[in-house]
A and B are shown apart, each in its own frame.
Chain A
Amino acid sequence: MKLINSGAEAKIYSEMLFGTEIVVKERRAKPYRIAQLDSELREARTKSEARILYEVGVAGVNAPRLLGLGKFKIYSTRIEGKLLIDDGVGKIGFSKIGEQLARMHNANVAHGDFTPANIMKSGKEYFIIDFGLSEITASVEEKAIDLLLLKRSVEPGQYREFAKGYARISKDPKTVIARLEEIEKRGRYQVRTLA
């Protein structure tokens, strides 16, 4: 196994399977978390991610395909390319990214960590990776949070293109974007909301 990336949550290795290169994602132990909480989280997230990878594949989203599942490990196909966070991208790319997210939301999967660290450019296509915090949900709130996370991590012009692409494919863009605006307006200094 060859280490190809070491992220916040997992180590990514490449491995050969019948002559084809595949990816193994292993959730690493976090030294700051107590062992019990840590292994519970890692196991639950690994299972959930595998299920979601499968669902996303069925929905035809550009994402790695699920090959197998271990206790803290997921086996999937390998995407060749560069992460958005490492590689500058023009505005045109962002509308394609919006389309991919919309396709995923149409299948009722919310990503949960939709930032440039989890978007990959491969050839002319964009792939969504790392479904570690994703959820199978119809919740408009969760979908809007995906948009919010991306909006916070990119330039305003890039976000506008992204939103155009999203609106093109999404089954219900208006509701999601309206919720996004509502979330942004929400005050968070709730000094005494709970007594």
Chain B
Amino acid sequence: MLVIGIESSAHTFGVGICDDGKVIANEKMMFNISDKGLIPGKVAETHVKNAPKTVEIALKAAGIKIGDIEGVGYTRGPGLGPCLQVGELTAKSIAKRLGVKIAQVNHGAAHVEIARSAAKMKDPLALYVSGGNSQILKSSEKPFRHYEIIGETFDIGVGNMIDNFARAAKLNPAWGSTVAKMAQGGKYVRLPYTVKGMDFAFTGLLTSAIKMLDKASKEDVCYSIQETAFSMLCEATERALLLTKSRELCVCGGVAQSSRLREMLGMVAKENSARFGFASNEFNADNGGMIAFLAERMLKAGMDSNISECGVEQRYRIDRARIA
């Protein structure tokens, strides 16, 4: 089944095409963040400009015509309202025009499912780490197949925490990989470390790290904020591994692109005799491919929606999202 997936929850407008479980095109156009961060209205405006072009490039990359598409999926949420609406509108127009079925996809569930598939795992414990989300997830069949949140951030996502810090430290572009580069050669300075069982909190760490910029070098603070935040995530994940007795661990979401976080989680998995895996970076960053991937499975399972019920939900929690 040829399914097109539209992703627009944040700064990326992504279009992916999936055919029988295989992503055959995964194209994107991005709002330029540089040092400003995201301004929802402005990002949405950029998405409107980019939408038709991105669809066109994706069709070309897959070597198909729009008329070949047999189903549509899009990100219902979570994400920024104005941005999500652009994707919703694009998806609905395609579905209406072609008279094909449409599925509303939870962004986080798509991240986990594509990682699970890439890592060839059956039922892994998943650490989902991105800008707005930081959650430890495990699938559940009751009352329908979905992901249960067994640990999560009490305040902000780890990605936002690092991006906010990067802006305060005047790094450009203000995101994780710049912090990671700056961290090389840094020394450890003490910062708050907050883990409660399988949950964690990042605002205290963020505030202290920003203050610490007056006392320690930028390299040292970058190194320490990264080590502290990732250690917190690893500790909570290890506890969840032990509680669930899971033998598989995967990481997904934007922050999963960090090679340091992967290295650390690899050690956590090894210590607990679990296999560790993740998807390639194109699927960890926001992308339409994963939306198409999960949408195809949902459509095949009859989990399509009427166009009139399609909408967006800024806080669409993963534990309410039924998946196939």
Q: Which residues of A pack against B, CB within 8 Å?
A: 7-8, 30-34, 36-37, 40-41, 85, 112-117, 133, 142, 145, 149, 152-153, 187-195
Contacts and interface: CB of A to CB of B under 8 A. Distances in A.
B117 interface: no
Contacts of B31: none
Contacts of B12: none
Interface of B: 37-38, 40, 78-80, 131-133, 150, 152-157, 160, 164, 188, 190, 193, 195-199, 203, 206, 227-228, 231, 234-235, 238-239, 241-243, 263-265, 267-268, 271-272, 314-315, 317
A37 B271 contact: no
Nearest to A38: B231
A145 B199 contact: yes
B265 to A, nearest CB: 8
A48 to B, nearest CB: 13
29 contacts: A8-B239, A30-B235, A31-B267, A32-B231, A32-B264, A32-B265, A33-B264, A34-B188, A36-B188, A37-B193, A37-B227, A112-B197, A115-B197, A116-B243, A117-B243, A133-B195, A133-B196, A149-B196, A149-B198, A188-B152, A189-B78, A189-B317, A190-B157, A191-B79, A191-B132, A191-B314, A192-B160, A194-B164, A195-B164
A164 to B, nearest CB: 23
Contacts, number: 100
Given A133-B196, A149-B197, A189 B314 contact: yes
A27 B91 CA distance: 53
User: Which of B193, B242, B243, B317 has the most A CB atoms < 10 Å from its CB?
Assistant: B243
B231 A194 contact: no
Contacts of A114: 197
Contacts of B198: 115, 149
Contacts of A117: 239, 242-243
B197 A7 contact: no
A37 B188 contact: yes
Contacts of A40: 190
A125 to B, nearest CB: 23
B242 A193 contact: no
B78 A8 contact: no
Contact of A188 (B154, B195, B228): B154
B196 A112 contact: yes
Contacts of A189: 78, 132-133, 314-315, 317
